[in-house]
Chain A
Amino acid sequence: MAKILLKGNEAVVRAAIEAGCRYFFGYPITPQNEIPEYFSKELPKVGGTFVQAESEVAAINMLYGAVAAGARAMTSSSSPGVALKQEGIGYISKAELPAVIVNMMRGGPGLGSIQPSQSDYNMCVKCGSNGDYRNIVMAPGNIQELVDMVIEAFDMADYYTNPVVILADGLIGQMMEPVEIKQPEVKREMPEKTWALTGKNGGEPHRIINLNLDANELEQVNIELFKKYAVIEENEQRYEEYKMDDAEYAFVSYGTASRIVRSAVNELRNEGYKVGMIRPLLLWPFPEKAFEGKDHIKKYMDVEFSMGQMVDDVKLACNDKHKVEFYGRAGGVIPSVNEVVDFAKKVMGGAQ
């Protein structure tokens, strides 16, 4: 298929429909409004349904119903709206249902700003609802990745019967790039949705449970969930290594921030610095494998659009917090390449 020029938010819709998503539930919030708007235009053409929910709380609970009914469905929002969805995400995680949730992050806390940000890492990767659970979190760095990840997210959600969060930011949502909409490279054997609410049709009733009053029973539920998470941690660590072969210093950065870091790496390389970048493509499971066998790295330089959230995972993954330096801008401010280069030079000293 030929490449087409798409804005990030529109690309989400095109990719989701390609993946067979036929239901969307959402509530307006900048900077992701094109997603519900475009869905409301496109879904009726493919026999799907768009519902503008009365709130993000309602939207996530509609999604809970739709995925429990066996459909491919999604919701999207931006930071304050995703905060409201947390309870529902916890319910979907506990019920082990497949759902796709897009977060086009904006500056926070509170109402914050409408500028792009990465300050929902903790909410989405560490999981902001009550209880022990994990969501698969994907971090696209360009529009092609966004498309590929949205399409794969539906497969992953079905395969692991688990929510998948696409954690992007306002810049990804608004920027335009040429993309190709194609089926995922990884073909998975999809389990049949025998648990779906379809009416019992002469058989046993389907029951989707969220309450276990017996503590031992609930502990067992947790243990089973974590067995599944262990499989995901083993199978789904994904990252890109950029100019890491001979690197002595490594940036760690994801999403839009990694685009700036990539330019900074190029500039520093031109000046003779042996520097590269580890870019997590999935934030959970965090790509710990990327840090294995890298004892020679003198410093990790974590760059985020936040006051520092992923940096905690980098410290854990490299197993030496003294090796980790952080640079970030918050509230929707985007650092320039020069700022990142200056930060790196301070960290590396004269180590060309």
Chain B
Amino acid sequence: MKTVIVVGNGMVGYKFCEKFVSNVGQDFFKLVVFGEESRVAYDRVHLSGFFENGDAERLSMAPREWYQENNIELHTNERVTDIHRNSKTITTLSERTYNYDYLVLATGSSPFVPQMNGVEKDGVFVYRTIADLEDILAYADKIRKTVKRPKAAILGGGLLGLEAAKAVMDMGMEPHVVEFAPKLMPRQLDTRSSKVLQVKLESMGIHIHLSKATNQILGNGHVIGMEFGEDDILNVDMLVISAGIRPRDELGKSCGLKIGTRGGIMVDNTMRTSDPNIFAIGEIALYNQMIYGLVAPGYEMAGVAVDQIIGREETVMAAEIDMSTKLKLIGVDVASFGTPFMPAEKGHSIIFENKTESLYKRINVSHDGKRLLGGILVGDAKDYNMLLQMYLNEMPLPKNPENLILGSRGGEDVSFGSAMDLPDTAVVCSCEAVTKGQICCSVKEDGNESVKAISKATKATTGCGGCKPMVDDLVKETLKSLGKMVKESVCEHFDYSRQELYDIVKLKKFEDYDSLLDEIGKGHGCEVCKPAVASIFASIYNETANKQATIQDTNDRYLANIQRNGTYSVVPRVAAGEITPKQLLAIGRIAQKYDLYTKITGGQRIDMFGAQLYELPLIWEELIAEGFETGQAYGKSLRTVKSCVGSTWCRYGMDESVTFAIDIENRYKGIRSPHKIKGGVSGCIRECAEARNKDFGFIAVEGGWNVYICGNGGANPQHAQLLAEKVDRITATKYVDRFLMYYIQTAPPLTRTAAWLDKLEGGIDYVKEVVIQDCLGIADQLDREMQYLVDTYKCEWKEAVENPEIRARYTHFVNAEETDDNIEFVSLREQKMPKAWV
């Protein structure tokens, strides 16, 4: 039996173990691992996640037991101090000696700390290990006691520096990025894209200081500032240095292995160092004169070393290694691939820049226009995966390569092929080196028909997760090619789409969830199908959420929006935002009585926060007595119809927008739908009510109303599209009736109208055919169904407070009178807010 010693229990060292045990029987080799850190190997790539939950366990690559189960002898908290090549032994800090047959160095790298005065001061940190992060958190806690919003500088505006900047910002500090180069991310971005990124980051509150050489760090004992030039000083309370990495090659050096001129242990394409029994992998290995500071090449190196040790000598490292990267976490998409900057003699670039939207896209194309050589994406990197694949696989470019970044603008030339056009050898998941061929094969032959199943079977998507969208496409497309309908089934309990369920419920007149599940579903349901079916019942029978309370989302179950600390907010309907002084006083009185935080919503009404469960019926009883009714702010249903004052007051107004908005809001109130719906009515084309931002909108014009549908604010803003022009109020209402009803019946769960329209074959033209020309012959039926909903409206809060059985649901404990003592508030600008999360 031979012994393999691994020095370093980091990401790559762990991956070596994982690949080793899955390839080698335990009878032939014994694995011994030394790690200097006290924790078992963890996911450094997602290190910043530690700030979110403080849960180090979550980051670990595998629990300690895993090493035991696989007979791996693991020594953490134990640094290897010497290698004795003659005797093939190593010694550790605790002066123990171990023999090896093969030695694998996976010692990674350490942050580079530039020579300057003051780096030893308190409050100066690096950003590499969980221990570093714990120190940063502890220090931040300490200074926050004296400084309200401390300033934290990050030295280094590269990939990691920006990630660290976001992390300190999330910790409530004011981030300042200090970069030596005249631009951010100098290794990945060109000057223009870097500028676009800078402007965007600044707008998010990250301060950027470029072309700054730090002379010294100021402060007496602890950091108070950084000095760049004589009068150029930045006051800071903390400093995180992220100025690059240095390979931890000290072990290799002292035992005489060949070292590169700028550090790193030299290896050949078998990962052997200058001593054939010693391997080096990961960020310590100098391959092709380069250190690769990414996990994917490190994982590949680990695989090569395993194969070499067990005698599969044909496995060697690829000659060229891809360094394409995508920045994660920061809240702006940034990616660069291939040759991001390209000298003019090699090809030409196509650049698209839109400063107002912080967008920059560049692709570099060979002179003959046939190959993609590289590119940069800032602001929108959703096409990164596909572009990267085109580059890696040298796929032919479309006739008009500009479409790759501008999107196809009509015509036949579809910019992207589908993921299916990739060659089978294309590596889709680079972290785990899974090819398109393997994924498709796993779908076809092993019946892994979901991303989840694929990720279990092939490990694809388990690394950085960047390839998920592409794996999803591949699974769907492969299923399609097998003639399997890719059913957008609601979840594992129903093999039907929401539209199919809707039709079934309607035709077979199902009236409760359990019988539907028993008849046409399987299992016991879940948080996906229950609310979806609840919404269908509501849309067909107009039943309130009180009837089948436990299949509703929490918000619907308690008829209020659950907020951060488990308290609820209360929103009465204020149709079109028109409210009398008397009503305002009433809301004021009630909010004051129950000590609620009040705020005007984006939908022109008043939101009262901080009500405990048991208070809800009490508050509503009073509101109802004052003439209010539920605003359904909690439901996937009509929220508000926003209006401007229109011709009643506004000198430009073409028509009465408020009156129309009130009527429309009252018409659609209480109607449940696949997702929330919002409306808007503007008195003229100046559009003060932002009606084109809404699921439906009306704008008064010369000669009538223009009707718009399927607009959206939210995460993916989209302008509404014109459904009809210059129609009267009755016609406008009829069209929107039909449109809404059609949407309610056909949309998948939790899909806003804009996303629904995007997916609808034929788009807005098809909606016009259904709604206006009545091409399906269902207009009458849609009209009737909508009218039924309008006629059967009732206020579900009124129902709840008047029914003792429903009222009884509003207690925190079923066995005690007390209320939840876990809820804590702190004061905020003369009101209150929930106490912050830990």
Mutual binders A and B = no
